[in-house]
Structure 1
């Protein structure tokens, strides 16, 4: 069986704990190259995975042996690196948020189209078993008409996770562009679009920097979203949840209330209007906390889509639609207005 030859650009924590380890566990993959501007960091993973070391991404994507790359770099580099790799004939798995503007995202989509290669954005929440089951149940009418929702994604901040700790690029606007809203909130805009199978058309938001004194990006955001059919709800994204992570979503419908990742054992619970309760023990989402490094599903689906010549599991267009919601939230904060998408 032919193996897919992979190069990973950026050897920080997301590469270490997600991309590299999950590629290594996939029998259809051979990691052949790693790249980081910190040569020692790249060399460490090169030794571990018997891969070639690069310090310039341009040299890595010029390697004709490589079939596909993961882009695991600071946000401002996502678009230029992805476009360059696509233009060089590589399939691309890009970390979120996919870009720092709508124009950049559209350029990535166009590059994928022109090259005929796959572009996937690493939105893992739609692959969580409880979320997949929830979408199916909502689609089957288990909750009836959906009225509202609330969702949150928060933890104590990236300094405990990032390879650079408190000095991480996550806190610097020129490299990150956006803070907790882009790091965590965009995951939830993607999840809600997936669960409800609708686009959001209006966004209002309060976006603040309150807990990370040295950051020049947001660390706490609360958004109000309205969908095409009039479903309204709230989305919170924060780096100020200091004791433990919150990744819960609650969907309110005419027949009951669905709670996702709101219970430590039962990852999907439905409380029906008639008093009955259904509980599904489907496993928890992977986290950045100790013992939380289970498979995200992203890598396996990316590899499968290439090997089986399937559509990208989370296309550039999907990534852009999820990004547009957080871009609208930023605009809402800046203008103190409700923004139409």
Structure 2
């Protein structure tokens, strides 16, 4: 394989700006075809983004012999089905988060990978954005001394700009999303903590809901103990008052702290000599750095930037934080 030739399953809002155009901009990468169940919308996406082929079924797209990899950008309810279909068709897979509806489905994908030569990367793309790479660099350099603990506070009103707006609001349908807004945005945050601090030793958490829909958690509160000794606490509240609106992570060390937003482009380093601020500019298509890393992995030029095992850790941790794990 000299070029990764992509097909996209689910060319909706996420693929429109965050990811789709990047497949055409990364070196040794081409976007060949897209699929959406609404044929006219698939055709419209293909025309606007100059994609040669469009389909209204995943089977038809996977049957395209010129495609050797697929990006699965549908809601989580179809991730398992489409991933297994893609692997069976001999395609490598770039899979949106959360990787599945639940941990059990994630395990099925992990087992399927063992019986195929196919490759799979989970789209925890913040790992490759400059601000979060800077955080990892500062931690590695010991900029705040021995890391002691980390704190995440996500306090958002019911209508939040952090949550992508859709006509049917499928994120509040657990049979489609897995579990409300927490399942939509927390994978990125939990993944970064795992990426920074390593193996997780223990998790405890609780959740509650103002909603009568089962598994839609409005409030999630939990702690994580890492084998490295780092302690983590986090709270996600999606019914917060506007005056309490907040979105922040602080990592505390013996000699200072690192403060950042998951949706910003700035990192603050506080230490005995004062405060340093590092500013960054995200690419127009925020998944582009991760897609470049995935292309290198698929072409055997680099390691997997986020393997299925990491996705499983995130799925298990989410269920534990929600109090669902047994």
Alignment TM-score, normalising by the size of structure 2: 0.87
- 1:225-270 CA-to-partner distances (Å, cap 9, x unmatched) read 22224432222335456699855311011111111238977x2222
User: How many residues were matched structurally?
Assistant: 322
Note if 1:313 corresponds to 2:305.
yes
Give 1:157 deviation, angstroms: 4.1
Cα 1:264/1:56, change in 2 over 3 Å: closer
Cα 1:177/1:256, change in 2 over 3 Å: same
Give 1:98 deviation, angstroms: 0.5
CA contact (8 A) 1:98 1:105 kept: yes
Cα 1:6/1:218, change in 2 over 3 Å: same
1:103 is paired with a residue whose SS is helix
Give the corresponding residue for 2:16: 16
CA contact (8 A) 1:10 1:34 kept: yes
Give the corresponding residue for 1:83: 84
CA contact (8 A) 2:172 2:181 kept: no
Give 1:96 deviation, angstroms: 0.4
2:64 is paired with a residue whose SS is coil
Give the corresponding residue for 2:144: 143
Structure 1: unaligned runs, 5 residues or longer? 287-291
Give the corresponding residue for 1:170: 171
Counting only pairs closer than 5 Å after superposition, residues 185-334 of structure 1 correspond to structure 2 as 185-209=186-210, 217-240=216-239, 247-261=247-261, 267-272=266-271, 274-283=272-281, 294-330=286-322, 332=323
Give the corresponding residue for 2:35: 35
- 1:105-156 CA-to-partner distances (Å, cap 9, x unmatched) read 1221222232222101110221121221221221232222222111245653
State which drifts further: 92-101 or 12-21.
Answer: 12-21
Looking at structure 1, the residues matched to 290 and 244 of structure 2 have their Cα atoms a distance apart, in angstroms, of 24
Looking at structure 2, the residues matched to 251 and 97 of structure 1 have their Cα atoms a distance apart, in angstroms, of 24
Cα 1:153/1:88, change in 2 over 3 Å: farther
CA contact (8 A) 1:68 1:90 kept: yes
Give 1:181 deviation, angstroms: 1.7
2:115 is paired with a residue whose SS is helix
Cα 1:205/1:214, change in 2 over 3 Å: closer
Structure 2: unaligned runs, 5 residues or longer? none
CA contact (8 A) 1:248 1:260 kept: yes
Cα 1:117/1:65, change in 2 over 3 Å: same
Give 1:282 deviation, angstroms: 3.0
Give 1:97 deviation, angstroms: 0.6
Looking at structure 1, the residues matched to 301 and 263 of structure 2 have their Cα atoms a distance apart, in angstroms, of 38
Looking at structure 2, the residues matched to 276 and 316 of structure 1 have their Cα atoms a distance apart, in angstroms, of 40
2:93 is paired with a residue whose SS is strand
Note if 1:5 corresponds to 2:5.
yes
Alignment TM-score, normalising by the size of structure 1: 0.84
Looking at structure 2, the residues matched to 300 and 244 of structure 1 have their Cα atoms a distance apart, in angstroms, of 38
